[in-house]
Structure 1
Amino acid sequence: MKRKLAVLTAAALVLGGTLSTPAQADTNDVLSVDFAQTTGAFRGGATGTLYGFGDDGAPTQALINGAHITNTSQKAPYGTQHPSGDAIKVEGGFFAKHGKDMYIYVQDYYPDWSYNGGRRPGDDRTYNQADGTYTSTPNGIWDYLEVVEFVTEAVATTSARPRDYVFIPFNEPDGGNWYNNWGTLKDTFLADWKATYDKIQEVYARHGLGHARIGGPGDTRWQPARSADILTYAKANNVLPDVFIWHELGINNLGTFRANYAAYRQLEKDLGIGPLHVNVTEYGMLRDMGTPGQLIQWLSIMEDLKIDGQTAYWNYAGNFNDNSARANAANAGWWMYKWYGDLEGSQTVRLTPPALNTVDTLQGIGAVDARNKRATVLYGGGDKPVSLRLTGLGLLGKRVDVEVREITLSGAEGVSGTPRVIKALDGVAATGGALSLDVPTYDRYAAYQVLVTPAQDRPVVVSPVWTASVEAENTALTDATVYFQDPQAGGGWKFLASGSRDVGSFNRPTSKAEWTVTVPRAGRYRFQVIGGTPGTPGRHALFVDGANPAIVQYTADLALTSYQRWQYRGSAEVTIPLAAGQHTLSLRSSVDGAAVLPNSDITLDKFLLTDVTDGEPTAYPASTLRYAGGARVTYDVPGARGYASIRAVVAAPTRTSRRGRPVTTTSRSTTAACARRTPRSR
């Protein structure tokens, strides 16, 4: 008998999945996952952020909880480096659910970059430790040491969780911040490291807080010679960091990251220390932010190494470094974070991509939750269809259900709804615990979640809501230009375009992009544009079959440099009535063909059309939830053989299933399920 798994809501359409054939596999990228070979407990620390939190409520708690952020680096209390991001002000939201380690950049107390004009301070000031003010007179104490004391005192006395802080005394000291000439300044740095380390410990001891955790050195990149000098000195002087830190930022770092990590661990062995915990507190370039197919490449490395990492801060605080959208909405990057966080409680497993340590290639993470009988694969980054070779599925039974969900690039400020099930295999045989299947890849910037469970009675189907999409460059264009956006151009200092192309020079009264599309029924449809408005709000007119223009209103997306401002993408939506059948949707820069609409010179990336006649019903199967407080899925319930339930310590009254059989639920199980409270996408 097939097993029934409880769901929160239900909607059904049937689409069968197909297994792979040898001919298909020859043209596909092959991803092999062995769920019988575990590689350790899921760490979950790779989606940390640098200034990902702005102020209390930004991001909102729904975004924070869903993204499962366990570590973040923020501004020192009362710091002046940025207008927001103060660690004390954001710690409530951070620690509310998944937050574990709050790092602070102590040097961010200074208002400029690089700090103090890039010059190591001397003794030119006297600080008032009560409020942080200072006078321009020397007092015999190094000025920065007074800053360190003030910042540490603020954490010790005003934080509700001072033991969960990690102090980073120096940020990128090799990059122009006081100690870039190692040949002449090595001894100065080492003495300063000890002085700041000891001062932080002194303050915590003063308040009975025990050992204060300290991270460093925080170099711009892996620096083997500097690291050896620092660790040798730190060991000899009993000032070893609790967390070893460096940054991995460039495009090529995707290929060298593992080798750098291996070199660091070998250095530890050579020196007879550690192993220390590692946090790469800045990783990734602009091109990686909000792009699931890029993010999964980074996450797979750090999860494989069981270390933590934090996305770099390039724009502004409070949006997980361009991995959430608007005030309380998900972009594609946020969904990648959520999928990664959903692996909590799992064991990672052996996954073999086509190539390791190769930039911009198919990579992934495999994990198994044996207690809840759930196997997951997250992957992306390749530009070919993927053939999955799954083995070790014996714990799920002889027949399994498979759901494949997809996240496509939506831009940093572009809103992305709940990922759709694009492929479903219902009750297929996993002969010998093995299964092979093919998944068509949308483009290399997308990412995919493959969820395998025991066969269930609920229909395992593709998402029932009709939707279609088209790249702007693939529409019929008039007086507009297609631009190629090379993902590796400019050293990664650019936001990516879906399909690596977009449409610009949309600045004449006759500029238009036309999409011929067939809709299945009469009703209301949401037309969404993913595009870039360079710093000012803008407008377009959407014509349906040459008539009835509706105004598409764009918000002002963040404008950075003159080069990047055309690439920072958001989304705009308008709802239109459509009859069943074929239509031509014409997005134009003008209503009358004579005068352009205000600020209509907008970069166009992608169009999406979704049937919203009945709203957008979304099913959150119990197999996709996070479980806490003792909640778990049980597939064999006494008295209800062949059915499943979510069970916890205290059971609520039994309800009746759709077949009249009892299904046990609990009050804790649903409140623990973050997937129920994902941010609104509209």
Structure 2
Amino acid sequence: MFWPRRRTSSGTSHESAPTTGRSSRLRRAVAHATVGIAVIAAGSVVAAPAHAAGNTLTVNVGTTVRPVTHVAAGGLYGVDDGATAPSLSRLYPLRLNTLTQPPPGNQQLGNGATTPCCDGLDVADKVTSAGGQQYLRLSDIFSAFPYNWVSWADWESKLTTMIQERMAATTTTNIAGYEIWNEPDWTWEGRLDDTEGSFHDMWTRSYEIIRAIDTKTPIAGPGTAGYDHDWMYAFMRHARDTGTLPDVMVWHQLGTNSGWQTVQANVDDFRAVETSLGLSHRPVSINEYGSPSQVDQPSVAVHYMAEFERAGVHDAERAYWYEAGTMNGLLHNDRPTASYWAYKWYGDQSGNIVETVPQSWLDGVASYDAGRKQVNVVFGGDSGNNTVKINGVGALGSQVNVTLSRTNDTGRHTNQSAPVTVSTQTYTVASDGSITVPVNGMNAVMAYQLLVTPTSGTPTWQQTYEAENATVVNANTHSSSSASNGSYVGQIDNSADMRDQSFVDFLVYVPSARTYSMGIKYANATGANATHGLAYNGGAWSTVTYPPTSSGWGKPTGTATVNVNLRAGYNMIRLAKGSPGFAGGTGYAELDSITLQ
């Protein structure tokens, strides 16, 4: 049974791409037009992974980058309705962050499709059940790409209808924002601006139409085909001066000149743009990443993951070059491809993202979960004999188990039923708290995983789930030395309607169907009882009571214990101040974690 959900809170996010002139940007955008192209020219292929050896990827477990939120676990047109497009059982392990889906009434026939698909309101329940949020790309109401614009009267009618349909979907809680237009730096400029006005005027007019109907849902933009400093500065200055600033910044990272290599530089440049205009930082969504050749290479996916995490990107979506409803090539006939396993390992990460220091093209993303006593390193990018050095594993004991696994190097039309286990070995931790793991005979296209655990005492299944690793909707994550894992979720305050209700969704996995005792670690400094609603797997609501804690806000010392009847496998547990079907909680409480016993 699916049940409704909603958008993640707007945390800080960063991202960008290189500065190019309009003519080169237009050529790139035409080559990379995300929807409506069936065959992609060879000119869009990114530089192949290096074929070098003798490199070391360094992982510093003691240097925290950010809480795990699976930033790169998203896709454009990645999910369709129905049981196998894709099935929930395939989506659960990916730990979805955010998708970009077409709007209600979608008419797009992308990449040779004969019927429109993937309407965001139609797929909302499935995406919610998998833990994900969605942006609605409003310009995809048009049937062709580039968009077959008719007139302002036609657009205003379409826009009004789309927003009204979303407003009527009162149980849909996972709409993270409206993306007004896609790739305006060439689908509007140079095509429509001579007759319909500048894109700046188009943005302002459309923004005001949306806000006249819906004053709450975030608006995302500008959705450019790449990052251009001058273009972005001019857009943000206009948006500031007209009171139409986007709530979420959107642009794409596609191809040789705007792939993973430029993420950090672009983020830094955009943050400087915001500062120069006197603006606060807002979340950044890279809602298309990866060129046609890149989406079939597991190691390239790992490069994007690593760069997005380092740069503080809020969410990122794999580009839609080929088939819809396949998580952009992670599945073929609803079965995993090689790239799926790289994202599944990424989905297995919990706790905190920790620092990785690449060398040459050898790079990766790593997490450390102190509660689970687990280091999870997903890496790749070079051939031959290389090394992964992990510093700071002394807390796991004097010896650790290290399992090395790999994907295949095949593309989106070849299934891989399971990762290949290369080796399982016991390593002695050096006096400086490090281990050095040789990884010989690497293939530059494959992705690899190193899973490091103690030699004994490791639980067979995850029992504690941190709130900051969960799907946080209309609430915010904060740091605190008093919280487990160093973070907690606060401002879970809203209960008004489906657009701004506050809740946290925990996607948990349990080994068997039974009743579990669930301990909720919280803070409540109101001096009186507070309550949240509790529901799981779309079932009935019950109430959780949080007695007051004396330690103050940001110090989650209280524990409330309830029983939950869970099925074997994945379950979605929601703790809510407000949610459809729930009358609303009382008072205020902050969430640190849940533990299943």
TM-score normalised to the size of structure 2?
0.66
Residues 1:215 and 2:220 aligned together: yes
Query: Larger Cα Rg: Structure 1 or Structure 2?
Result: 1
Q: Structure 1's 322 and 46: CA in aligned 2 closer, same or farther, altered over 3 A? A: same
Aligned partners of 2:90 and 2:162: how far apart in 1?
28
Would you say the 8 A contact 2:53–2:382 is kept in 1? Answer: no
Correspondence for 1:90 among 123, 126, 135: 123
Distance between the aligned counterparts of 1:150 and 1:329, measured in 2?
37
Work out which of the residue numbers 265, 271, 293 in structure 1 matches 2:299: 293
For residue 94 of structure 2, what is the amino acid of its counterpart? A
Match status 1:650 vs 2:517: yes
SS of 1:431's equivalent? coil
CA distance in 1 between partners of 2:198 and 2:254 (Å): 27
| Equivalent position of 1:322 in the other structure | 329
Which residue is equivalent to 1:11? none
Query: Is the counterpart of residue 105 in structure 1 residue 116 in structure 2?
Result: no
1:81 aligns with 2:108: yes
**Deviation by residue 1:477-519 (Cα, 9 ceiling, x = unmatched):** xxxxxxxxxxxxxxxxxxxxxxxxxxxxxxxxxxxxxxxxxxx
Offset at residue 158 of structure 1 (A): 2.6
CA displacement 1:290-341 (0-9 Å, x = unmatched)? 3211110111111111212111111121001111121x21111111111111
Match of 1:402 in 2: 402
> 2:427 and 2:222 mapped to 1: Cα distance?
53
For 1:296 and 1:333, locate their aligned partners in 2 and report how far apart those are by CA, in whole Å.
9
Structure 2 equivalent of residue 54 of structure 1: 80
1:138-197 CA-to-partner distances (Å, cap 9, x unmatched) read xxxx3212111111111111362256331111101112x222379968963222212211
Provide the C-alpha distance between the structure 2 equivalents of 1:321 and 1:280, rounded to a whole number of angstroms.
15
Task: Give a deviation string over 1:628-662, Cα, whole Å, max 9, x none.
Answer: 4999xxxxxxxxxxxxx99996189xxxxxxxxxx
1:132: which partner in 2?
A: none
TM-fit CA distance, 1:53: 1.0
Q: In structure 2, what is the equivalent of residue 7 of structure 1?
A: none
**Does residue 318 of structure 2 align to residue 311 of structure 1?**
yes
Indicate which of 663, 668, 671 corresponds to 2:569: 671
Contact 1:292 1:407 (8 Å CA) reproduced = yes
Q: 1:364 to 1:262 in 2, by over 3 A?
A: same
Q: CA deviation at 1:286?
A: 1.6
**Does structure 2 conserve the Cα–Cα contact (< 8 Å) formed by 1:627 and 1:672?**
no
User: Does the aligned pair in 1 maintain the 2:386–2:442 contact within 8 Å?
Assistant: no
Q: Aligned pair in 2 of structure 1 residues 60, 433: CA closer, same or farther (>3 Å)? A: same
Relative to structure 1, is the Cα distance of residues 149 and 186 closer, same or farther in structure 2, using a 3 angstrom cutoff? closer
- Where do 1:208-607 residues align within 5 Å? 211-253=216-258, 254-307=260-313, 308-326=315-333, 328-344=334-350, 346-355=351-360, 361-426=361-426, 428-456=428-456
Alpha carbons of structure 1 residues 457 and 256: separation in structure 2 relative to 1, 3 Å: closer
Conserved? CA contact 1:103–1:168, under 8 Å:
yes
- Aligned counterparts of 1:646 and 1:94: Cα–Cα separation in 2: 23
Q: TM-score, normalised by structure 1?
A: 0.58
Is the Cα–Cα contact under 8 Å of residues 43 and 303 in structure 1 kept in the other structure? no
- Aligned partner of 1:622 in structure 2 is 460
**Which residue does the alignment assign to 2:185?**
174
Letter in 2 for 1:45: V
CA distance in 1, matches of 2:193, 2:199: 11
| Residue of structure 2 in register with 1:149 after alignment | 160
3-state SS of 1:174 partner: helix
2:56 touches 2:389 (CA, 8 Å); kept in 1?
A: yes
Q: Which runs of 5+ in 2 are unaligned?
A: 1-51, 110-115, 470-509, 520-563, 573-597
Q: CA deviation at 1:381?
A: 1.1
**Secondary structure class of the residue paired with 2:104:** coil
Shift of 1:407: 0.9
Are the counterparts in 2 of residues 71 and 103 from structure 1 also a CA contact under 8 Å? Answer: yes
The superposition leaves residues 236-265 of structure 1 with CA deviations (integer Å, 9 ceiling, x where unpaired) of 222110111111111232322221221111
The C-alpha deviation readout for 1:47-76, integer Å capped at 9, x for no partner, is: 210011122321111111122221111111
More deviation in 155-164 or 56-65?
155-164
Counterpart amino acid of 2:210?
I
Q: Per chain length, whose mean CA-contact separation is higher, i.e. which structure has more relative contact order (CA < 8 Å, sep 6+)?
A: 2
The share of aligned pairs that are identical, in percent, is 24
Matching of residue 160 in structure 1 with residue 171 in structure 2: yes
What is the rounded CA distance, in whole Å, between the counterparts of 1:193 and 1:374 in structure 2? 47
- 1:274 is displaced (CA, Å) by 2.4
Measure the CA separation in 2 of the matches of 1:282 and 1:309.
7
CA distance in 1, matches of 2:321, 2:242: 36
CA contact (8 A) 1:622 1:646 kept: no
One-letter amino acid of the structure 2 residue matched with residue 447 of structure 1:
A
2: CA distance between counterparts of 1:36 and 1:45?
A: 21
Q: Secondary structure at the match of 1:37?
A: strand
Distance in 1 separating the partners of 2:280 and 2:63: 27
Write the distance in 2 (CA, Å) between the matches of 1:366 and 1:70. Answer: 17
217 and 64 in structure 1: CA distance in 2 versus 1, 3 angstrom threshold = same
Give the SS at the match of 1:47: coil
Contact (CA 8 Å) 2:72, 2:305: kept in 1 or not? yes
Aligned residues: 426
Specify the SS of the correspondent of 2:262. Answer: helix
